[in-house]
Amino acid sequence: MNSIITHSPALLIAIPLFAAFITPLLSRIHRRARDGFVLIVLAATELLALLLAQDIYANGIRKYVFGATLPSLTHPGTMSIPVRIIFEIDGLSIFMVLISLTIAFVATVYSSSFFKKEDGLDRYYTLLLLVTVGMVGMELTGDLFNFFVFLEITSIASCALIAFWVDRGESLEAAFKYIVISSIGALFVLMAIGFLYGQYDALNIAALANSIQFTFIDKVALVLLLAALTMKAGIAPMHMWLPDAYGEAPPSVTIAVVAATQASLYGVLRVCFTLYGKGLRLNMAAVGWTLVGLGLLTIFIGVTMALVQRSLTRTIAFAAVGEIGYMVIGAGTALAAGAQNFATVALKGGVFHIFNDVLDIGLLFLVAGAIIYATKERDLNNLGGLAKRMKYTTVFFLIGLLAVAGMPPLNGFASKILIYESTYQLNPIISIIAILSSILLLAIFVKIFYSLFLGPELPHLRDVKEVPKGMLVAMAILATLIIIFGLFPGYVLQTIVDPAVAALSNPTNYINAILGGA
Amino acid sequence: MIYNIPYIAVIILIVVGLYAVVFKRNIIKMVMGITIIESGVNLFLVTLGYRAGGVAPIFTNLPEERQIPGQLVLPIPQALTLTSIVIGVAVLALMLALTIQIYRQYKTLDVTKIRRLKE
Amino acid sequence: MNPFVPIDTGSGFWNPLIWVIVFIIALLIVYVIRGLGRGDYKKNTGQTKPFLSGNVVENDEQLHVKGGNVYWGFTEAFKGYYNKIKSMHTGDTRDYVLWFLVMMVVFFAVVLGVM
């Protein structure tokens, strides 16, 4: 057991990667064998991640050196700088890994009954496992160029999955916009990595964080990294690819792309708090205020545009844009406030909101997928009166609606109250705009709930049936997690979120784990 | 001064690539623009590793009286560039495949007309 | 450890257990008030149908407000803002890259100018 935990960083990447390329072989045997195999692989990877999480919460940061004789040999021989690619896992990394693997598992459960008569499904499962590998790699790695490689893996695999329904022109257009935006952003990240390497001759995040000063080239690298990673995370006004991509992809692909977007937000947090963290936190206040301003713009644009959409998935996608703004104002307040008490509370709210948002928006997208499966309609004007026939779907949509709008006692409220109370102390206007936008979110989803589910049955929808069990099980997993996180928020905060926030607030722990406490 | 010419070429390549992405209407010209930006970034990475008077960093095949590591060109940026070239090829293939399918659906390659998803 | 730990927000606390208890008490009060109502009405006659000022309520499907029209008053009142912001979301790929370059210039101004 001990050796499994020692090698688990490598296994978390290797198991889905090998499974991704064995899946087409298994699909020759039978369709069910392939579905079951992917489910078992993702469940095993999640179990491994839970074991690793327990070890990290007990013993601190774990590092894994690829290609060394021992996994913890960062300085072989008499070297004074760390060589080889090193994975460094602290509380924030394992938090994001748990999010990514949960969403991948739920997406697979949903896909096994959503796609009945389509071909090309073996390539679909391969690409879904590759997206998982990319996300987990982005969150585990401690090396900047390795981060860039996993970022590109995630972008390429997600783009191919967004274009899954190739007979619809809109999916292809959305995938093309996604890949243009992703590759330009990634190329600017590579330029920033080049600047930092040329300045300090190191690619390891801990080694760079130890020796970084605020010269002109470092500021240029910070700007390039921030601009590209915030564009990949969907912050206004660079958010416009997000509704296109989320609205036209199959729903199980959309929740995987949501998790990939949160991995880019993890990149923003890493750059702002750890890479430029040691000794430079006081200088990042201007970046914090910019992030707060952009976050408010994101919330406002996302929520107001969602009210006027005609397509169901595009409405939920704009609401997802709004929710990203909440996380960013939490992180921005923590940067702008410096060492005051409410900075930690804001960061806790922002980081907790990452998990809550993925669960809530994921549940809403799965419900939208169930409606598309049952009625073959995407337009809000052609749907109505579905509650009589699709009872379970109605209940799940109600839970998702209350969670996204931040209603107690569900999980949206637990993270939003942390964000409201801490940003109020920075500037009351931030909190006021955030609360009003939350009310608008409730308005949007109550509108959809009223016009889609309540009311009389429309004549062309008289023979819709409830969706198959696989989709109901996937939605039930997310709804159960939402209710549990809502009823026990203190427990979840103490167990999962506090180590992540402590890891962000103390960059010296991250540096000393690799460089040995010098 | 002569050692700065590759950096100036990098800036020119990136500006030309961005111009092609932002101001050209044909999708294939946009794809070419992205490839030009990628060439610029690769050139930047390779140029970072140059040391004046150095030889290629092949450890087992050095000519006589060359000391390591002072008179070798840095090897790490060359590895980074190889990885980046491979990623660029994959992205280019994906974008061109999407372009072919978009042409089949929309019957045009003008990016101002491929706009069914707006507002 | 105790799973019902409240979260402490620095200027207050939130405990969902208290909310659930208050909600159950409110439901009990609602049930008691419902029991004080009249039970002597005739089901399935005109006494249980909706009343629209004496007009005849015939076709349920035509009373249904479609999804795109529910918040018409709100969108009409904000017409100026919505025209402006809808025209910014053009759907043209080149505009997406232009916004990225604009934000990069903004970030440069913030980081190089202020810090």
Q: Tell me the per-residue pLDDT of B5-57, one tens digit each, with 9 for 90 and over.
A: 999 999 999 999 999 999 999 999 999 999 999 999 999 999 998 888 788 88
Q: What domain range includes position A325? A: 283-487
Least confident piece of the model among A345-349, A383-387, A413-417, B14-18: A383-387
More confident residue, A81 or B94: B94
B22:C101 CB<8 A = yes
> What value does the mean pLDDT take over residues A260-289?
88
**Nearest chain B Cα distance for residue A440, angstroms:** 19
Residue with tokens 């690819």: A241
* ipTM of the complex model: 0.95
**CA separation, residue A515 to residues A211, A313, B43 (Å):** 11, 47, 32
Q: Is the pLDDT of residue A163 over 70?
A: yes
Other C-beta atoms within 10 Å of A355: how many? 23
Contacts of A374 (CB under 8 A, 6+ apart): A386, A390, A393, A464, A465, A466, A467
Query: How high is the pLDDT of residue A80?
Result: 75
Best C81, C92, C96 member to test B by mutation, with max B CBs in 10 Å, is C92
Query: How high is the pLDDT of residue A387?
Result: 86
Does residue A515 sit within a domain?
A: no
Least confident piece of the model among A37-51, A261-275, A281-295, A347-361: A281-295
Q: Is the pLDDT of residue C68 over 80?
A: no
The single-letter code of the amino acid at C87 is S
Does residue A503 sit within a domain?
A: no
Minimal Cβ distance to C100: which of A231, A379, A422: A231
Q: In this prediction, what percent of chain A has a pLDDT beyond 90?
A: 70
Contacts of A109 (CB under 8 A, 6+ apart): A39, A470, A473, A474, A477
On average, the pLDDT of chain A sits at 91
Query: How high is the pLDDT of residue B66?
Result: 64
> What value does the mean pLDDT take over residues A230-254?
93
> What value does the mean pLDDT take over residues A391-395?
92
Q: Is the pLDDT of residue A143 over 80?
A: yes
Distance between CA atoms of residues A387 and A403, nearest Å? 19
Confidence of residue C59 (pLDDT cuts 50, 70, 90): low
> What value does the mean pLDDT take over residues A158-185?
93
* Per-residue tokens: A319: 């609401």
CB A361 within 8 A of CB A243: no
Calculate helix-pair angle for A31-59, A91-114, nearest 10 degrees: 160
A183:B91 CB<8 A = yes
Distance between CA atoms of residues A106 and A289, nearest Å? 36
Query: How high is the pLDDT of residue A136?
Result: 96
> What value does the mean pLDDT take over residues A47-63?
92
Calculate helix-pair angle for A312-337, A341-375, nearest 10 degrees: 170
Query: How high is the pLDDT of residue A461?
Result: 82
Per the structure, the count of domains in chain A is 1
Distance between CA atoms of residues A453 and A397, nearest Å? 9
Q: Which residues of B touch A184 (CB under 8 A)?
A: 21, 34, 37
**pLDDT tens-digit profile of A405-439?**
999 889 999 999 999 999 999 899 999 999 999 99
Q: Is the pLDDT of residue A518 over 70?
A: no
More confident residue, A282 or A94: A94
B22:C92 CB<8 A = no
- Helix (H) and strand (E) counts in chain C: 4, 2
* Closest C-alpha among A149, A388, A104, A68 to residue C60: A388
Calculate helix-pair angle for A121-140, A91-114, nearest 10 degrees: 170
Confidence of residue A280 (pLDDT cuts 50, 70, 90): confident
Which H helix or E strand runs over A382?
none
CA dihedral B57, B63, B69, B74 (to 10 degrees): -20
Q: Which residues of A touch B102 (CB under 8 A)?
A: 169, 172-173, 176
Does residue A460 sit within a domain?
A: yes
CB A116 within 8 A of CB A276: no
Query: How high is the pLDDT of residue B53?
Result: 78
Q: Is the pLDDT of residue A497 over 70?
A: yes
The topology (CATH level 3) of B2-51+73-106 is Helix Hairpins (1.10.287)
Distance between CA atoms of residues A114 and A469, nearest Å? 10
Q: Does the beta carbon of C39 lie under 8 angstroms from any beta carbon of chain B?
A: no
Confidence of residue A240 (pLDDT cuts 50, 70, 90): very high
